[in-house]
């Protein structure tokens, strides 16, 4: 790759993980946003989806805590009520526009219970279009399920997803777009934190092996992994300091130091859990020396859940929902430096 291209990609990647800021994942598919709207009593219409995203993107001051926003295909083509394209709305807040580009997780052939993410066909052309619409980075999500009763995940599932992630990342860098590589080991299940560690370690090893094979320059990418955490139905839930310890150890064993940043997904954690876990990891950095990469966040529900329910589709509640959204972003901004405390939550009261 041309050195100037690498420099541009690296600069953008570093802009995505600055101190005190993280990334909002507002890239819910039609099916996902419909479920979340339904749970909050909101009608799933195009105008409601547009109004909801506008509420988030125009929150006063949110650019102090968000460096990027991942959008969905519909969203990147929409405009604010004032007629301004959403990518420009974000840029005006000092936030980098991004776009989800995968085609979703589909059943992996001859492997019951496992998924592989599709969407490589025609991706080069779609990336060019998204670049023209204002995107500067992209995201592709792979999902890995743990079920010890059926022996999954299998190595073929991990490797198939790693290969797709790496090919996606190469296509993005070819188009001067920073890829967010998201290999998610799901929190669903009864597995222990030790099992989560084992599978996450394997998944990240395979992912970076494929990334190197596909000639992707790790200086121009962001990793979006799960935290190493107990299955949500496990009888014993690991404490916050153990989640931090296992997660950082796993990353140190697998992620090249040249990767500019790691932006964790929340993956089914509550908003407070996701903040506390991120804070504990960055607090460990103060005790053991800086990590080789920035440890940031790229949350969806952990940033949006309460604001969405507060808004409920009612225009009169936009200001209150924005206040709550800004507070949640601010708390995670504090967790970026390990300075978050439970007492800070009282600021939202």
Which residues are catalytic, by number?
A: 182, 224
∠ CA 262-306-80, rounded to 5°: 80
Structure tokens at 201: 């370690």
Contact 69, 57 (CB under 8 A): yes
Ramachandran quadrant class, 76 (left: phi over 0; alpha: psi -120 to 50; beta: rest):
alpha
∠ CA 306-28-269, rounded to 5°: 50
Give dist(CA 180, CA 14) in Å, integer: 12
Helix (H) or strand (E) holding 296: strand 294-299
Contact 135, 98 (CB under 8 A): yes
- The DSSP code sequence of 73-113 is HHHHT-B-TTS-BHHHHHHHTT-EEEEE----EEEPTT-TT
Give dist(CA 268, CA 246) in Å, integer: 18
Give dist(CA 299, CA 40) in Å, integer: 19
Give dist(CA 338, CA 113) in Å, integer: 38
Structure tokens at 25: 């994942």
Give dist(CA 177, CA 8) in Å, integer: 9
**DSSP-assigned beta bridge partners for residue 97:** 69
């Amino acid at each position: 790759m041309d050195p100037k291209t690498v420099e541009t990609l690296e600069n953008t990647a570093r802009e995505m993980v600055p101190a005190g800021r993280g990334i909002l994942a507002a890239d819910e598919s039609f099916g996902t946003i419909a479920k979340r709207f339904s749970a909050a009593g909101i009608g799933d219409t195009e105008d409601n989806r547009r109004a909801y995203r506008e509420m988030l993107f125009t929150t006063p001051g949110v650019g102090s805590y968000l460096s990027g926003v991942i959008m969905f295909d519909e969203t990147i083509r929409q405009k604010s009520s004032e007629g301004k394209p959403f990518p420009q709305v974000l840029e005006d807040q000092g936030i980098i526009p991004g776009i989800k580009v995968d085609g979703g997780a589909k059943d992996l052939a001859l492997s019951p219970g496992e998924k592989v993410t599709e969407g490589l066909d025609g991706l080069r052309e779609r990336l060019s279009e998204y670049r023209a619409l204002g995107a500067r980075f992209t995201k592709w999500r792979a999902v890995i399920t743990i079920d010890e009763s059926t022996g999954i995940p299998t190595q073929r599932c991990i490797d198939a997803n790693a290969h797709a992630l790496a090919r996606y990342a190469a296509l993005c860098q070819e188009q001067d777009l920073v890829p967010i590589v998201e290999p998610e080991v799901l929190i669903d299940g009864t597995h222990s934190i030790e099992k989560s560690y084992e599978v996450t370690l394997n998944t990240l090893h395979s992912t970076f092996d494929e990334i190197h094979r596909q000639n992707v320059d790790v200086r121009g990418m962001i990793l979006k992994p799960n935290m190493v955490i107990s299955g949500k139905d496990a009888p014993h839930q690991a404490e916050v300091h153990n989640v931090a310890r296992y997660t950082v150890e796993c990353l140190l064993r697998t992620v090249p130091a040249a990767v500019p940043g790691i932006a964790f997904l929340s993956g089914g954690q509550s908003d407070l859990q996701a903040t506390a876990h991120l804070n504990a990891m960055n607090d460990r950095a103060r005790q053991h020396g800086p990590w080789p990469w920035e440890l940031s966040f790229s949350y969806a529900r952990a940033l949006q859940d309460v604001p969405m329910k507060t808004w409920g589709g009612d225009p009169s509640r936009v200001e209150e929902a924005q206040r709550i959204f800004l507070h949640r972003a601010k708390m995670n901004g504090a967790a970026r430096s390990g300075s978050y405390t439970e007492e800070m939550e009282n600021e939202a009261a």
